[in-house]
Amino acid sequence: MANKMGAKKPELTELARISDRVTFLYLEHAQLNRQDSAIQVRDAKGIVNIPTAIVSVLMLGPGVDVSHRAMELMGDSGMAVLWVGEQGVRQYAHGRALNHSSLLLEKQAKLVSNTRTRVAVARKMYQMRFPGEDVTKLSMQELRGKEGARVRRVYQDVSKRTNVAWTRREYKPDSFEASTPINQALTAAHQALYGLSYSVVSALGASPGLGFVHTGHDLSFIYDFADLYKAEFSIPVAFEVVATLEDDDDIGRKTRLAMRDKFVESKLLLRMVADLKALLEVSDDEESVAFLSLWDDKLGLQDFGVQYAEVGSDET
């Protein structure tokens, strides 16, 4: 049998945990190939090798050509790969999760499938966003009302602090440049936050589509999860970028760099991992090891890989 060329597939124990990785990397107009255990990025400015095991999410914008071997390495390394539109405004596709365990997914499905526990998680998310208020008895309608008022106040406060005029949130998905500078910055900042949120949710094995507040979309839970951090991260960063914007600045690029710096400075990945486990009621001492079993409604989990004979037969 011929030897397989290239570096061997990494074991899960060899990969960096999601909380220890670089937050995100956005690339456009470049060629991506594999160089041993790194992705080789070639563009008009030169060549750079990126170790895949230390990157949380790779956002691929327009003009990116990716080789099959490069995609194979990204998948083996547990890197979330998002194919996005210009300036990261739209997400088209993604890669496989790092965690092969279904523990968080099963917890999430159980919580979202029961009205009482679903409302409880929604209240918990609101409490995480705006601490200091008692929401234990509020309905979903009341939560939405309080959220709207608090978010409007956040926009007004940061507008006043940065001296950036603010009226309302508006943008056109098909035309990034058609909106105002502050709306462009908010779009870029929110997309960076969505990308990082997706990376954490998928890497830990939860479902991006099983939302508690948002519903009906394959990214419903991503919108839920990212909302926890907008008031602290993407909204103020967007206003600060516009406040210091110069005529020749690329607003999308400047916003992404500012978000990346903010993510690193605040160690947001560590916080996101802890927050996700808290929301889905998974404790740190619960094992999250992938194992494949057979489900039985009466006997419980049964071993996989065993050839079971028909009940009552003479086969052994």
Give the number of other CB atoms < 10 A from CB of residue 97: 21
String of DSSP letters for 13-43: GGSPPGGGSEEEEEE-SEEEEEETTEEEEEE
What is the DSSP pairing of strand 55-60 with strand 80-84?
A: parallel
Residue carrying the six token digits 């009621």:
281
Q: Do 80 and 56 touch, CB atoms closer than 8 A?
A: yes
Is 214 known to sit in a ligand binding site? Answer: yes
Dihedral angle computed from the Cα positions of residues 93, 99, 103 and 109, in that order, rounded to the nearest 10 degrees? -10
Q: What 3-state DSSP class applies to 303?
A: strand
Q: Do 274 and 200 touch, CB atoms closer than 8 A?
A: no
Q: Give which of 144, 136, 109, 256 is closest to 193, Cα–Cα.
A: 256
Angle between helices 220-227 and 115-129 (to 10 degrees): 40
Cβ-based burial of 36 (10 A; exposed 0-12, middle 13-18, buried ≥19):
exposed
Q: What 3-state DSSP class applies to 304?
A: coil
Is 14 known to sit in a ligand binding site? Answer: no
**Integer Cα distance of 29 and 9 in angstroms:** 28
Is 217 known to sit in a ligand binding site? Answer: no
Q: What 3-state DSSP class applies to 104?
A: helix
Q: Do 203 and 18 touch, CB atoms closer than 8 A?
A: yes
Q: Which residues are annotated as a binding site for Mn(2+)?
A: 147, 214, 227
Going by the annotation, the residues of the binding site are 147, 214, 227
